[in-house]
Amino acid sequence: MAKKIGVILSGCGVYDGSEIHETVITLLAIDRAGAEAVCMAPNIEQMHVINHLSGEPAAGETRYVLVESARIVRGNIEDTATVTADDFDALILPGGFGAAKNLCDFAVNGPDCNVNPDVARLVKETVAAKKPLAAICIAPALLAKVLGPINSPALTIGTDEGTAGALNKMGARHVDCPVKEAVVDKENKIVSSPAYMLAGSISEAAAGIEKTVQELLNMVE
């Protein structure tokens, strides 16, 4: 039976949702490995909507994380409220500002951020079930907030000192990492990679993400 990998999305578009390249590369790596992606997102309003041409907020627009995430995965997606760790063998969070604006509010409140309750629940359930986790780009900040006080995971967002310091403040242990590599915390079964926190091209992002997915799958029992 194919391994099932939960994928938590945060919208559609780098500035206010899931980073599309990172998400598609993640899904492709999962599929190429013979595993099955189980995609999900919270059914909540986005923090805001960004015009991706101008980079400016779109005044008066309202969008919803689950509906926007469905664009990337051709509608094959579940509400996080209806999913438990029993539904997958491992869990991965692609990046994009949505991970730090919609799944949590790290982009606004830094180490004092709050995490969406269902997303936090799924992360904790995954750890409790001794199933592996992975996070890409800025998404390790969310894992740091949820798991830092519990098991001080080793995580990376690349090399940015300010963001790394915030992860450490939340209880994680930040490890600098080049874009094409991944940090593997074997004790806690957590993998992370910088992707577009450092990537200058889609191929650079892909190298680290593909390695992350492979390391994640290697830890599935």
Quick one: angle between helices 117-128 and 140-151, nearest 10? 50
Q: At which residue do the structure tokens 């519990």 appear?
A: 150
Catalytic residue (one of 104, 113, 137, 177): 137
39 annotated active-site: no
Residues 41, 59: Cα–Cα separation, whole Å: 24
3-state secondary structure (DSSP) of residue 6: strand
Query: Where do runs of H (alpha helix) occur along 33-179?
Result: 65-72, 97-101, 106-109, 117-128, 140-151, 161-169
Q: What are phi and psi of 98, to 5 degrees?
A: -60, -30
Q: Give which of 146, 195, 190, 196 is closest to 171, Cα–Cα.
A: 146
Q: What are phi and psi of 73, to 5 degrees?
A: -110, 25
Residues 47, 45: Cα–Cα separation, whole Å: 6
Hey, which residues are catalytic here? 137
